[in-house]
Amino acid sequence: MSTPGSTRRQRDRSPQRIAGTVYGTIVVMGALAAGAHGGTVRSRELAGIVAGTAIVLWIAHVYSHSLAETISRGRRLDRAELTSVARREIGMLLAAVAPVGALVLGALGILQDSTAAWLAMGFGLAALVAAGVMYATVERLGLVASALTIAVNLGLGLVIVGLKAGLGH
C-alpha cells in the first residue's frame, strides 16, 4: 500500500518519465521511418541511425534544460544538478533500447532486416500504449478517458507507421 508521500513522489516523477518516453519513442519511430527509405532496409545502418539520433537529441535536451536551469538559478549547475537533468531526460535514450535491440538482431542475421524493422516499430507502438496506460493510471482516469488517452498515443504511433508503410516498407 502506498503512502501519500510515495504517491506524491510517483506523481512528481511521472510527467518527466512519460514525456521522455513518449518523445523518445516518437523520435525513434520517426528515425525508423526516415532511415528505412526507398524500400531497402539494412538493420545495421538503421540501428546506427536510430541510436545516433536518440543520443544526439538526448544530449541536446540535457544541454538545453541545463542551460535553462542555469539561467533560472542565476549560476552554473553543479555536477549533481547536471546529473539530475541527465537522469530526468534518460527516458529518451531508454526508448531506443528495444528498437535498436531488434535491429541488432537483424544486423546479426537472426532476423530478416524487414522483420527487425517492423519489430522495432512494434516496440515503439507498445511503448506508446504503455505510456498511455501509465498516464491514465497516474491521473486515475476513468475507463473512457483512459481508452482515449491510450488511443491518442497509439494513433500518433500509427501515423508514423503509416508514413513508414507509405515509403514502401
pLDDT of residue 58: 94
CB 46 within 8 Å of CB 35: yes
Low-confidence ranges of the chain (pLDDT < 50): 1-3, 5-12, 169
Q: Which of 90, 92, 118 is nearest to 103 (CA)?
A: 118
Domain that holds residue 32: 4-166
H-type alpha helices, the chain = 4-35, 43-73, 79-88, 91-107, 113-138, 143-166
Q: Is the four-CA dihedral 86, 92, 95, 99 of positive or negative sign?
A: negative
pLDDT of residue 59: 95
Residue type for position 21: T
Name the domain count of the chain: 1
Residues 6+ apart with CB under 8 A from 64: none
0.85 surpassed by pTM = no
Report d(CA 58, CA 65) in Å as an integer: 10
